Amino acid sequence: MLARLRARANALKQETLALWYALRHPRTPLAAKVVAAIVVGYAVSPIDLIPDFIPVLGLIDDLILLPLGIALCLKLLPPDVMAECRERARESVEQPRNYFAAGVIVALWIAAVALLGWWAYGLVGR
Protein backbone atom coordinates (compact mmCIF):
# COMPACT_ATOMS: atom_id res chain seq x y z
CA MET A 1 0.00 0.00 0.00
CA LEU A 2 2.83 2.41 0.86
CA ALA A 3 4.44 1.78 -2.54
CA ARG A 4 1.16 2.63 -4.29
CA LEU A 5 0.86 5.84 -2.28
CA ARG A 6 4.40 6.83 -3.19
CA ALA A 7 3.77 6.10 -6.87
CA ARG A 8 0.63 8.22 -6.79
CA ALA A 9 2.51 11.04 -5.08
CA ASN A 10 5.20 10.91 -7.79
CA ALA A 11 2.52 11.10 -10.50
CA LEU A 12 1.06 14.14 -8.74
CA LYS A 13 4.48 15.78 -8.70
CA GLN A 14 4.73 15.24 -12.46
CA GLU A 15 1.30 16.78 -12.93
CA THR A 16 2.29 19.70 -10.69
CA LEU A 17 5.31 20.34 -12.90
CA ALA A 18 2.97 20.36 -15.91
CA LEU A 19 0.84 22.94 -14.09
CA TRP A 20 3.98 25.01 -13.53
CA TYR A 21 4.45 25.13 -17.28
CA ALA A 22 0.74 25.85 -17.80
CA LEU A 23 1.02 28.74 -15.36
CA ARG A 24 3.63 30.32 -17.63
CA HIS A 25 1.87 29.44 -20.91
CA PRO A 26 0.52 32.46 -22.83
CA ARG A 27 -2.81 30.78 -23.72
CA THR A 28 -3.69 29.88 -20.12
CA PRO A 29 -6.80 31.76 -18.92
CA LEU A 30 -6.42 34.03 -15.87
CA ALA A 31 -8.66 31.89 -13.63
CA ALA A 32 -6.58 28.81 -14.43
CA LYS A 33 -3.39 30.75 -13.71
CA VAL A 34 -4.67 31.75 -10.27
CA VAL A 35 -5.71 28.21 -9.35
CA ALA A 36 -2.50 26.75 -10.80
CA ALA A 37 -0.42 29.23 -8.79
CA ILE A 38 -2.16 28.14 -5.58
CA VAL A 39 -1.77 24.43 -6.37
CA VAL A 40 1.88 24.73 -7.41
CA GLY A 41 2.61 27.01 -4.45
CA TYR A 42 1.17 24.49 -2.03
CA ALA A 43 2.95 21.60 -3.73
CA VAL A 44 6.38 23.24 -3.51
CA SER A 45 5.82 24.86 -0.12
CA PRO A 46 8.09 23.41 2.55
CA ILE A 47 5.18 23.61 4.99
CA ASP A 48 2.43 20.99 4.62
CA LEU A 49 -0.76 20.52 6.57
CA ILE A 50 0.61 17.11 7.55
CA PRO A 51 4.44 16.86 7.50
CA ASP A 52 5.78 14.38 4.93
CA PHE A 53 8.08 12.67 7.44
CA ILE A 54 5.05 11.09 9.16
CA PRO A 55 4.65 7.69 7.50
CA VAL A 56 1.52 7.30 5.34
CA LEU A 57 -0.26 10.30 6.91
CA GLY A 58 2.35 12.65 5.48
CA LEU A 59 1.35 11.70 1.97
CA ILE A 60 -2.40 12.07 2.54
CA ASP A 61 -2.46 15.81 1.92
CA ASP A 62 -0.55 15.23 -1.31
CA LEU A 63 -3.09 12.57 -2.28
CA ILE A 64 -6.24 14.57 -1.46
CA LEU A 65 -5.62 18.32 -1.73
CA LEU A 66 -3.35 18.28 -4.76
CA PRO A 67 -5.61 16.08 -6.91
CA LEU A 68 -8.57 18.32 -6.12
CA GLY A 69 -6.62 21.41 -7.14
CA ILE A 70 -5.25 19.70 -10.23
CA ALA A 71 -8.76 18.55 -11.23
CA LEU A 72 -10.01 22.12 -10.96
CA CYS A 73 -7.09 23.34 -13.09
CA LEU A 74 -7.82 20.70 -15.71
CA LYS A 75 -11.40 21.96 -15.98
CA LEU A 76 -10.17 25.54 -16.43
CA LEU A 77 -7.30 24.81 -18.87
CA PRO A 78 -7.74 24.22 -22.60
CA PRO A 79 -6.89 20.54 -23.29
CA ASP A 80 -4.28 21.35 -25.95
CA VAL A 81 -2.42 23.66 -23.56
CA MET A 82 -2.35 21.00 -20.84
CA ALA A 83 -1.18 18.33 -23.30
CA GLU A 84 1.65 20.61 -24.42
CA CYS A 85 2.63 21.31 -20.81
CA ARG A 86 2.55 17.62 -19.86
CA GLU A 87 4.92 16.89 -22.73
CA ARG A 88 7.29 19.63 -21.53
CA ALA A 89 7.12 18.18 -18.01
CA ARG A 90 8.01 14.71 -19.30
CA GLU A 91 10.96 16.09 -21.24
CA SER A 92 12.19 18.25 -18.39
CA VAL A 93 15.26 16.94 -16.65
CA GLU A 94 15.39 19.32 -13.74
CA GLN A 95 12.51 20.96 -11.96
CA PRO A 96 12.22 24.72 -12.33
CA ARG A 97 13.43 26.88 -9.48
CA ASN A 98 11.88 30.21 -8.82
CA TYR A 99 13.52 31.72 -5.76
CA PHE A 100 11.25 34.77 -5.84
CA ALA A 101 8.14 32.57 -5.60
CA ALA A 102 9.75 30.55 -2.81
CA GLY A 103 10.52 33.80 -0.97
CA VAL A 104 6.92 34.95 -1.33
CA ILE A 105 5.64 31.63 0.04
CA VAL A 106 8.02 31.75 3.00
CA ALA A 107 7.10 35.40 3.66
CA LEU A 108 3.39 34.53 3.65
CA TRP A 109 3.92 31.71 6.13
CA ILE A 110 6.02 33.97 8.39
CA ALA A 111 3.34 36.68 8.22
CA ALA A 112 0.63 34.15 9.06
CA VAL A 113 2.59 32.85 12.06
CA ALA A 114 3.34 36.41 13.22
CA LEU A 115 -0.32 37.37 12.92
CA LEU A 116 -1.35 34.28 14.84
CA GLY A 117 1.22 35.10 17.54
CA TRP A 118 0.02 38.69 17.75
CA TRP A 119 -3.57 37.50 18.06
CA ALA A 120 -2.65 34.91 20.73
CA TYR A 121 -0.64 37.52 22.65
CA GLY A 122 -3.71 39.81 22.64
CA LEU A 123 -5.82 37.02 24.12
CA VAL A 124 -3.29 36.31 26.89
CA GLY A 125 -2.84 39.99 27.71
CA ARG A 126 -6.52 40.47 28.59
The per-residue pLDDT for 10 is: 73
Where helices occur in 24-98 by DSSP H, the ranges are 30-44, 57-76, 79-91
Ranges of the chain with pLDDT below 50? none
Interval 91-126: pLDDT, tens: 875 555 678 877 888 899 999 999 998 888 887 766
H or E element that contains 49? none
Residue 7 contacts residue 1 (beta carbons within 8 Å): no
